[in-house]
Structure 1
C-alpha cells in the first residue's frame, strides 16, 4: 500500500488514514486517483490490522471538489451506456464493510458526494462547506443527490441541487440538518476524527462490521428485508456469550457527551 501518486496512506493501532493528495486541484479526482483509491479500498478488505478508516483531503481548503474538469473520459458511442469513473470511488463500491469516517476539511462539492454518500458518518471543520455545482454549468445533478437522498431532508437536498454554485451549506447548517455528526475547529479535525476512529477500532471487528452491514441493509432494502437479514448478521458477527460477558465486566464506565 505504497507508491501512490494521488493519495497518502498510513495506518497505526487499527486505524487507516487516507488523504486525497491533489491540493493544487482542490483534491479533485482524476482517473489515476480513482484507480488508486479503488485499489486501496479493495486491499483494505484483506488487512485485518486495519479496523476503521479516516478519509480526508490534503490542505485546509478542500476535502474534494469532484472530478477534475481537465480530465477527459472517453465515452461509448451509444447513449444507453456511460463510462463514469466516479462509480468506483467509494468504499461500498469496492465491497468494503469496515467503517469509514469522512473528515471534511474545506469544500466538498459535486462528485465528492460519491465518497461522502458511502462513508458511515462525517465530521466537519467549522470552515467546511457543501454544495453541488452541476446545474450552474448546465449539467443534470443525478448521481450526487441520489447518494445524499437518505442523509438530507428532501427540501434541503433539492435546494442544494437547484441552487448550484450560488449557495453553500455551512458546516453548522450541515450539522443541524443531519448531514454532519460533529463540527470542530479546523485545527482539531484530525484529533476529533482519530478519537472516534480509535474508539471504534477498540471494539471487536466482526461486531462492528456486522453492524455496518446491518445499518446499510436498513438503508438500501425494505424494512422487512433488512429485518430478515438481521439474524444471520447477528449470528456471524457476535462474540460467544462468555466473551461478551468478559467484555461487559472489563469495559470502563466512562462516556463522553456530544
Structure 2
C-alpha cells in the first residue's frame, strides 16, 4: 500500500509512501486518496488530519507519468469543455471532508502536489522545502494547479512560479515570506509541527472547528469555482500533444535555480 493512514489522539495522518518515486501518484494512489478522505467523513474518532510524504526528499511530485503510461492513457472527452484528470479528486475538499487538514512538507512539492496543497487549511514546511510547477517546461498548461495556488499566494508569485516552470524553485523560506507556508520547522520536523497543531484542533469542539473551516472556505469558494470552470478548455487548447510532452520530459536538464527572496 503506497498511501498509509494512521489514527491517534483524534488525528489522522495520511502519508504518501513512495519515497523511491518522490511520492509521485499513480492511478491507484489517486483513487486511494479519494477513498481515504471520504472514509474520514464518517469516522467520528477523527477530528483533524495531516497529509505528508515519506522519505524526506519530497512531499509529492504530482502524477507518476511512467506508471500512468503503463496503466494506459486516461481517455479524454472529445471536446475542450471537459477533461478527465486523475488528480482532480485527491484533495479533502473535493471529497466533501471538512475537518481541518494540515500539510507537512519536506523536500519537493511540485505540479500535481498542488491539488492537495490547495485544499488544506495551512502548510508547515522547512527552509529546505522546494515548491515549483514544471508544466510549461513540458508543453502543458498549468490550470488547476495555478488556480489553486492563486488562492494561497500573491498574484505575482504564483504567476512567476507557473510560468518559470522547471527553471526555478521557491525555497521554503520564500514560501513562508509570501504566505504559502504558515510555519517553518527544522529539517525533519515538519510532521511533528503539523501534528502539534492538529492535536490542538482535535481537542476543540468539532462542530465549531468544522463550521469555521466551512466559513473560511466560503469566503473564497465563488472565485475558485468560477476559475476552475474555465480550466478544461484552457488545458485542451494549450497542451502539446502527449508525445511531444513526453519528448520534452525525457530531454529535461537539471538547470534549476532556487529563489530565496
> Please, which runs of 5 or more residues in structure 2 have no aligned partner?
224-261
Query: How many pairs are equivalent?
Result: 218
Q: Using the TM superposition, give the Cα deviation of residue 79 of structure 1 relative to its aligned residue in structure 2, in angstroms.
A: 3.0
What's 2:40 paired with? 44
Superposition map of 1:68-107 within 5 A: 68-70=64-66, 71-72=68-69, 73-76=73-76, 78-80=78-80, 81-107=82-108
Encode CA deviations 1:159-182: one digit per residue, 9 max, x unaligned. Answer: 101111111000000000000000
Encode CA deviations 1:123-158: one digit per residue, 9 max, x unaligned. Answer: 002211100000111111111000111211111111
What's 1:153 paired with? 154
Q: Distance in 2 between matches of 1:220 and 1:167?
A: 29
Q: Distance in 2 between matches of 1:17 and 1:31?
A: 21
Q: Using the TM superposition, give the Cα deviation of residue 190 of structure 1 relative to its aligned residue in structure 2, in angstroms.
A: 2.3
TM-score, normalised by the number of residues in structure 1:
0.82
What's 1:209 paired with? 210
Q: Distance in 1 between matches of 2:74 and 2:201?
A: 41
Q: Distance in 2 between matches of 1:76 and 1:156?
A: 31
What's 2:51 paired with? 55
The answer (yes or no) to whether the contact 2:104–2:190 under 8 Å persists in 1 is: yes
> Please, which runs of 5 or more residues in structure 1 have no aligned partner?
223-258
What's 2:12 paired with? 16
Q: Using the TM superposition, give the Cα deviation of residue 33 of structure 1 relative to its aligned residue in structure 2, in angstroms.
A: 0.4
SS in 2 for 1:87: coil
Higher mean C-alpha deviation, range 135-144 or range 183-192: 183-192
Q: Using the TM superposition, give the Cα deviation of residue 194 of structure 1 relative to its aligned residue in structure 2, in angstroms.
A: 1.1
The answer (yes or no) to whether the contact 1:75–1:82 under 8 Å persists in 2 is: no
What's 1:191 paired with? 192
Structure number with larger C-alpha Rg: 1
Residues 78/211 of structure 1: CA separation in 2 closer, same or farther (3 Å cut): same
Encode CA deviations 1:40-63: one digit per residue, 9 max, x unaligned. Answer: 100000001100000000101000
The answer (yes or no) to whether the contact 2:22–2:61 under 8 Å persists in 1 is: yes
Q: Using the TM superposition, give the Cα deviation of residue 97 of structure 1 relative to its aligned residue in structure 2, in angstroms.
A: 0.4
Q: Distance in 1 between matches of 2:149 and 2:188?
A: 27
Q: Distance in 2 between matches of 1:160 and 1:13?
A: 37
What's 1:25 paired with? 21
Q: Using the TM superposition, give the Cα deviation of residue 187 of structure 1 relative to its aligned residue in structure 2, in angstroms.
A: 2.4
Q: Distance in 2 between matches of 1:150 and 1:100?
A: 16
Higher relative contact order (Cα pairs below 8 Å, separated by 6+ residues) = 2
SS in 1 for 2:123: strand
What's 2:175 paired with? 174
The answer (yes or no) to whether the contact 1:76–1:83 under 8 Å persists in 2 is: yes
Q: Using the TM superposition, give the Cα deviation of residue 77 of structure 1 relative to its aligned residue in structure 2, in angstroms.
A: 5.2
Higher mean C-alpha deviation, range 86-95 or range 68-77: 68-77
What's 2:254 paired with? none
The answer (yes or no) to whether the contact 2:118–2:151 under 8 Å persists in 1 is: no
